[in-house]
Every structure is written in structure tokens, then in C-alpha cells.
Amino acid sequence: MGHRTVTLFVILSILLLVLFVLDLLVGAVYIPLKDIWGAMIGEEVNSATRLIVLDIRLMKAIVAVIAGIALSVSGLQMQTLFRNPLAGPYVLGISSGASLGVAIFILGMPLLGIVNNSAISSIGTAGAAWIGSALILAFIAFVSTRIKDIMVILILGMMFSSGVSAVVQILQYLSNEEALKSFVIWTMGSLGDVTASQLQLLLPAVFLGLILSIAVIKPLNLLLLGEQYARTMGLNIRKSRYLIFLSTTLLAGTVTAFCGPIGFVGLAIPHISRMLFSNADHRILLPASALCGGVVLLFCDIVSKWLTLPINTITALLGIPIVVWVVIRNKSIV
Amino acid sequence: MIELKNISLGYDNKQILLKDVSATFSSGTTTALIGRNGSGKSTLLRAIIGSQPLMNGNIVLNGTDIKDTTALQLARQVAFVTTERVRISNLACRDVVALGRAPYTNWIGRMQREDERVVMQSLEKVGMEAYAFRTMDKMSDGECQRVMIARALAQETPIILLDEPTSFLDMPNRYELCHLLADLAHKENKCIVFSTHELDIAKSVCDTIALIDSPTLHHYPAEEMINSGYIEKLFKIRYEK
């Protein structure tokens, strides 16, 4: 590792810490840093303060970091696998799968007259989203065993997700206002709806996804030259594709299930990391993207709290100019 | 050494490119694979690296049938340079060539001192050592081609296949590249096969010429091939008509 790389990692780590603390400070009510620290180390503080700090702000900041890491790492994997700078975590339809699950849960059940079925409602929005994205992955994985050309898989994934979106629209069209509003709010994304018990699911799933992503670092580096070259250098293409898909679903699928679809982070962060570190080696790029992802989503969360707007609008407004700039500046990015 | 044993190649049963072809490409020789467009040059090369299923017959590399080898074992036998123009920005030439060490490195691709040495040596062999720390996005086609060949050399395989390595290059570069390949074959006892449309280069630089006249393949020492009349037959008949 060069000096520049080490320096960048150090700066980003410090930035992550600073923004994490800043994220705890920003909110509807002002809480002094002293009280935040007190609540965190378990000192005697006012119970409302403790609740706000631990259950709301701390939880949200942790979720922001996890979501940022997960979306960026999965986006990076998709960009390399498909050798396409416009690929992102949602390119295979993970978010449309999740939204179909949620649409059926929020919109479809009232239509079918199932309102108070406790067995079904215990799945929750998150469970429904997760099932939706897992089904999409199963379909893509099944298709990819039969198809040699990775570009065909990309096109199928995009077509399939458009088809799923159409089904979601039908459900939206048929639904009543109340159900429709809660669905639309889900699609805007939220980092604040994760409960402590959900975090116990979110953390291990994302952790497993990250372990898998580390295991495919070498395959990803070989895939920079395309699948044909990768194969002649001894890569088992089928196995690598599976692992990459699985990792992406665990990362992006889980985050989407709990936070809703958060756009542009997974697409923009890998580009930012490539440019910052000027390196395409995934041994550097993967941790770099993870760090940048955490930093950027914390920043977006602070802005969204400040302006009291949904997180998705902030990530899009910040992400789009970055992607445009990257594409204009550099034509051969991936 | 590459042995083709009664192989048949094609797409479905309708389009047979090669039928019951046998040939041997020895170590220490450079072979030019020539033939008209669509005659199956690339398909044959892909078959040798195991990417194209055979309809019939066997391909044996240094005594082992490719059917019985894993992707990793094959990667230690044969390196391939495709027609694809690869340009990865943000990756130094040295790192591109280092990818060629993949069959020998551990799970995360950690380079040992020996690997580093092979990488630098490979860059030297193609005359690109000065470019080690430059990225490919600002290099010419010929320079990129050399880097990709260095990557194949870093794979340290007894066999190297190249699909039309001379296209995109100007005339001096074409000759230079082919002399480089011939040199490698002779000095390092490698078996090098490349497809090309450059008949003059094939005649003057290569040891043997394999000519695909679907569904047959003629393989002779360069001198003999020139005198055989096969080349004229394949490339001139239509012209005279």
C-alpha cells in the first residue's frame, strides 16, 4: 500500500467517527454532547434523553453506517461483474423484488380482504421485502446457470425488474389511499425504522454478505478483464457468479428490506472510491468503498434530519451529480 | 504440445467448421493459424482452452486431455490473449500483468517475491518495463497488446494462444510482435499458436502454418505450406472468378 492509500484510509476513518458523533448531535431536540456521552456509557441521565440517544439516534447512526457499507460493497461487485459503470446493487432487480414483497404485504392484503391475520402481519414489511428479493435472486441464479453471456443476465435482470414494477403499479392503482401512502413512504427509504430486535437480524446478514464479498476479491480482480480472460486464468465462473449474487442479496437485499430502497449510494460510492484511491484493485477498492459508503450515508442522514426530508431524496440529489460528473470526466471507468 | 485427435467442431449439426481433424503443434514452435473469415480459427482456439465444446474427438495438452482438467489446471497449461481490447483505468500495467499470476497465488491474490520477479520479467520480455506503473487508459493499442501478452507470459504456461494479435497494429508493430512470439517459442520452448490474416507474416516468421479449409485443416512447416498451393487455392480462387 502506498502512502496516499494509507493516508486516505486514515482520513476516511476519522471522518466516519466525526460524522457518527455529529449524527448523534443532530435531531429535532438539542441534546448536549455531555448528555449523549452520559447516556451511552450508562450514566444517570433524564429518561427521555436516554431514549432519544440510544433508541433513536444511536440506532439510526448505526443503521446508516451498515446501510452505506452494504450498498456500496454490493454496488461495487455488480459494476465489476457486469463491467458496467451504471450497474448498482439494484441492477438485478433486488429492489423491485423487495418492493413487490412490500406491495403485496401493504397493498395486496387489504385488496384480498386479509387485514387482521396475525400470522401474516408478523412477517412485517421487512420480512415481505426480504422474501421478495430472495425470490428474485433465486430466479437470477437459476437463469445464470443456463446462460453463458453475462450481458444477457444483466438484460434479463433489468427486464424482469421492470415487469415486477408493472405488477407493483397494478397493485398501487387498485389500492386505497391509506395503504398507498404507507407504501409510497416505504419507497422513500428510512434509516429510522429499524428496531433493536431487527438489528439483530440486519447485522449478521450484512456481516455474512461482507465475508462473502471478501472471499470474492480475487475473482473480482480477475473479472476486471472480463469473463473470458478470467476463465483462462483459472477462475470458476459459475461459482464466482453465485457467490457474488449471494453476497449482493445479503447486503443490498437485507438493507432494502429494513430501510427501503435507498438509491444512488451503491452506484455512486464505488466511482468515488475509484477516483479517490485511483486504484481498481478490489483489495483496496472494497474496504475503500465500504468506508466511503459509511461516511456518505452518515452525511446524507445528517442532511436529511436537518432538512427533515426522506433519506432517498437526499441520496439521489447528492448522488446524481456525482455520477454525472464521473461519467463525463472519465469514459472508461470500470 | 497441443494434440488435436479426430476433433469435430461446429455449432449444432448444421454448421460444421472442422470435421475429424487431427494435428499436433509442438513445443518450441510458432504456428500461424490462417483461414477465411468464419472458417473457425477463433472457435478452434476457444476449443483448446476448453470454452468451446467439441462435437467429437479429444484435445490433449502435454499429455492431459482437457476434459479431465479443472479451470485452474488448464490455466497452468495454456494462456490466452483474446481479440478484446482491454483497458482498465486505475490499474497499473504491473497489476494487470500480476493478474496472470492468479493460478499460483493464494485466495486473495497475495504476491510473493517470486511472483513479483516473474511479473517484471514478463514486462521486460515484451519491452514494456518502463510502463510498469502507468495505466492502460493512456496507452496505444500496440502497447496494450504487449501488456496483455506480458500477462499471458506471467502465467508461465507451456502453451500460449493468441487470437489475431496483429490486428489493430501498424506494419512495423506487426512484424515486431511476431518476431517476439517466435523468439519466445524458440528460447523458452513454448508452443505458440496464433490466428492471423497476415499471410506474409505467417510465411516469414512462423515455423509452421495451419490452414483451415472447412471442414479440413492442413498443417505443414511454413516452407512446405507455401509450396503446397493450398494458400493460393483458398485465398485466390474466388478473386480470379
ipTM: 0.93
Q: Is pLDDT at B238 greater than 60 in this prediction?
A: no
Looking at A153-162, A164-173, A198-207, which range is the least confident one?
A153-162
In the three-class reduction of DSSP (H, G, I as helix; E, B as strand; rest coil), residue A92 is classed as coil
DSSP string, A148-206: --HHHHHHHHHHHHHHHHHHHHHHHHHS-HHHHHHHHHHHT--SS---HHHHHHHHHHH
Q: Any idea what the CATH number is for the domain that residue B223 is in? A: 3.40.50.300
Looking at A70-79, A84-93, B206-215, B228-237, which range is the least confident one?
B228-237
Nearest CA in chain B to A216: B108
Q: How far does B178 lie from chain A, in Å, by closest CA?
A: 22
Test A224 with B49 for CB contact under 8 angstroms.
no
pLDDT at B237: 56
Q: Is pLDDT at B136 greater than 90 in this prediction?
A: no
Point out the domain boundary residue: B113, B136, B156: B156
pLDDT at A119: 67
Q: Is pLDDT at B96 greater than 90 in this prediction?
A: yes
Contact between B86 and A225 under an 8 Å Cβ cutoff? The reply is yes
pLDDT at A40: 87
The three cell numbers of residue A94 are 433486488
Query: Which of A222, A231, A237 faces B99 most closely, judged by CB atoms?
Result: A222
Percent residues over pLDDT 70 in chain A: 96
> Could you tell me if A324 lies within 8 Å of chain B, comparing CB atoms?
no
Residues B3 and B67 reside in one and the same domain: yes
User: Under 8 Å CB-to-CB from A224, ≥6 apart: which residues?
Assistant: A80, A83, A280, A334, B88, B91, B99
Q: Which residues of B touch A151 (CB under 8 A)?
A: none
| Burial (CB count <10 Å: 0-12, 13-18, 19+), residue A62 | middle
Query: Which of B87, B102, B107 faces A222 most closely, judged by CB atoms?
Result: B102
pLDDT tens string A212-240: 999 999 999 999 999 999 999 999 998 99
By DSSP bridging, strand B2-11 and strand B159-163 are unpaired
Mean pLDDT of A181-195: 88
Reading phi first (left if > 0) and then psi (alpha if -120 to 50, else beta), residue A273 is in alpha
Cis, bond preceding A110 (omega within 30 deg of 0): no
pLDDT tens string B137-188: 888 888 898 999 999 999 999 999 999 998 878 888 888 889 999 999 999 9
Q: Which residues of B touch A226 (CB under 8 A)?
A: 84, 86
pLDDT at A118: 67
Looking at A68-77, A310-319, B156-165, which range is the least confident one?
A310-319
Work out the mean pLDDT of chain A and round it to a whole number. 90
Contact between A272 and A15 under an 8 Å Cβ cutoff? The reply is no
Q: How far does B68 lie from chain A, in Å, by closest CA?
A: 14
pLDDT at A233: 96
Nearest CA in chain A to B105: A218
Each domain of chain A, given as residue ranges in start order, spans 3-329
* CATH superfamily name and code, A3-329: ABC transporter involved in vitamin B12 uptake, BtuC (1.10.3470.10)
Separation between Cα atoms, residue B209 and residue B193, nearest integer Å: 9
Residues B201 and B105 reside in one and the same domain: no
Eight-class DSSP state of B213:
E
Residues B122 and B27 reside in one and the same domain: no
pTM above 0.90, yes or no: yes
pLDDT band at A42; cut points 50, 70, 90: confident
Q: Is pLDDT at B241 greater than 50 in this prediction?
A: no
Separation between Cα atoms, residue A184 and residue A95, nearest integer Å: 14
Work out the mean pLDDT of chain B and round it to a whole number. 92
pLDDT band at A76; cut points 50, 70, 90: very high
Mean pLDDT of B229-236: 83
- Residue B198's domain comprises 1-77+158-241
Mean pLDDT of B112-128: 95
pLDDT at B140: 87
Residues B104 and B200 reside in one and the same domain: no
> Could you tell me if A215 lies within 8 Å of chain B, comparing CB atoms?
yes
Q: How far does A268 lie from chain B, in Å, by closest CA?
A: 17
pLDDT at A122: 67
Test A226 with B90 for CB contact under 8 angstroms.
no
pLDDT tens string B15-31: 899 999 999 999 999 99
Q: How far does B148 lie from chain A, in Å, by closest CA?
A: 10
Separation between Cα atoms, residue B183 and residue B205, nearest integer Å: 10
The three cell numbers of residue A265 are 449510494
Looking at A59-68, A177-186, A324-333, which range is the least confident one?
A324-333
pLDDT band at A124; cut points 50, 70, 90: confident
Q: Is pLDDT at A263 greater than 60 in this prediction?
A: yes
Contact between A209 and A256 under an 8 Å Cβ cutoff? The reply is no
pLDDT band at B74; cut points 50, 70, 90: very high
pLDDT band at A115; cut points 50, 70, 90: low
Q: 438509491: which residue's cell?
A: A263
* β-pair partners for B25: B2
Residues B149 and B223 reside in one and the same domain: no
pLDDT at A222: 97
DSSP run (H or E) holding A108: none
pLDDT at B93: 95
pLDDT band at A116; cut points 50, 70, 90: low
Residues B148 and B164 reside in one and the same domain: no
Contact between B160 and B84 under an 8 Å Cβ cutoff? The reply is no
Nearest CA in chain B to A281: B91
Mean pLDDT of A121-134: 83
Q: Is pLDDT at A111 greater than 80 in this prediction?
A: no
Q: Is pLDDT at A332 greater than 80 in this prediction?
A: no
Eight-class DSSP state of B92:
B
Contact between B45 and A210 under an 8 Å Cβ cutoff? The reply is no
Crossing angle of helices A59-82 and A3-25, rounded to 10°: 140
Q: Count the Cβ atoms, other than its own, within 10 Å of residue B88.
A: 20
Q: Taking the alpha carbons of B34, B36, B37, B42 in that order, is the dihedral positive or negative?
A: negative
Test A217 with B108 for CB contact under 8 angstroms.
yes
Q: B11, B45, B51, B89: best mutation site toward chain A, by most A Cβ within 10 Å?
A: B89
Which residues of B lie closer than 8 Å to A, measured between beta carbons? 49, 51, 70-76, 78-80, 82, 84, 86-91, 95-96, 99-100, 102-103, 105, 107-109, 137, 155
Residues B115 and B167 reside in one and the same domain: no
Q: Is pLDDT at A14 greater than 60 in this prediction?
A: yes
DSSP run (H or E) holding A224: none
Contact between A249 and A134 under an 8 Å Cβ cutoff? The reply is yes
| Backbone phi and psi for residue B21, each to the nearest 5 degrees, phi listed first | -95, 135
Residues B187 and B129 reside in one and the same domain: no
* β-pair partners for B18: B9
Structural domains in chain B (count): 2
Q: Find the distance separating the first CA and the last CA of chain B, reported in whole Å.
A: 40
Test B72 with A222 for CB contact under 8 angstroms.
no
Q: Find the distance separating the first CA and the last CA of chain A, reported in whole Å.
A: 21
Q: Count the Cβ atoms, other than its own, within 10 Å of residue A197.
A: 8
Residues B94 and B167 reside in one and the same domain: no
Contact between B135 and B90 under an 8 Å Cβ cutoff? The reply is yes
Separation between Cα atoms, residue A219 and residue B107, nearest integer Å: 9
Q: Count the Cβ atoms, other than its own, within 10 Å of residue B26.
A: 14
